[in-house]
Amino acid sequence: MKKKTVSGLLSTLLLLGMLTVAFDVQQVKASPAVSPCIAVVPASTVSPTLTPGMNYTISIYTDYDGDDIWGYEFMLAYNPDVLEGVDVVNGDLITGTAAQFLTVGFNNTAGVLRLTGGFFFWIIGDPPMTSGPGILANVTFSVVGFGK
């Protein structure tokens, strides 16, 4: 399993279907998660205390426990009638001086957090590696409406 990356796992996930995030998270056209997996945490939130104007944060998490992780990427879809993307930040998996975090950002009209990823930047030799499990990114939304 050398040189397998979280990026490869995410590419597979994106081919199976996009994650839909609101207050009820679903994986579209995909089988139940099998380890190692990429997941939205919390997977579901039902809370009458979350009202328009409040912020809501989720984490993109992997339970992959290998020591050969050097990057990841993902896209995330959400209901723009319920949530508006505010911020996305790198998680605790890809960190340090060689770590790079990039995002194309939110399209709140379409309800999509476009391509987002983290990786270790290196020039010569093998890339730096890290071990999982861990949080790939934290995504903050503003609640703009009620629904799923």
pLDDT digits (tens, 9 = 90+) for 54-85: 999 999 999 999 999 999 999 999 999 999 99
Q: 2-6, 48-52, 135-139: lowest mean pLDDT where?
A: 2-6
In contact, 82 and 143? CB cutoff 8 Å: yes
Give the number of residues written for the chain. Answer: 148
Per-residue pLDDT reduced to its tens digit, 10-66: 333 333 333 333 233 344 444 555 667 899 999 888 888 899 999 999 999 999 999
DSSP letters, the chain, are -TT--HHHHHHHHHHH--EEESSB-EETT-PPP-SS-EEEESSB---TT--TT-EEEEEEEE----S-B-EEEEEEEE-TTTEEEEEEEE-SSS-STTEEEEE--EETTTTEEEEEEEEE--SSSSPP-B--SEEEEEEEEEE-S---
Q: Could you tell me the two tokens for 65?
A: 């426990």
Contact (CB, 8 A) for 113 and 51? no
Q: Which pLDDT score, from 0 to 100, does residue 27 have?
A: 42
Res 83: pLDDT: 96
d(CA 133, CA 66): 8
- The domains found in the chain, sorted by start residue, are 6-143 (2.60.40)
* Amino acid occupying residue 47: S
Q: What's the pTM value of the predicted model, to 2 decimals?
A: 0.75
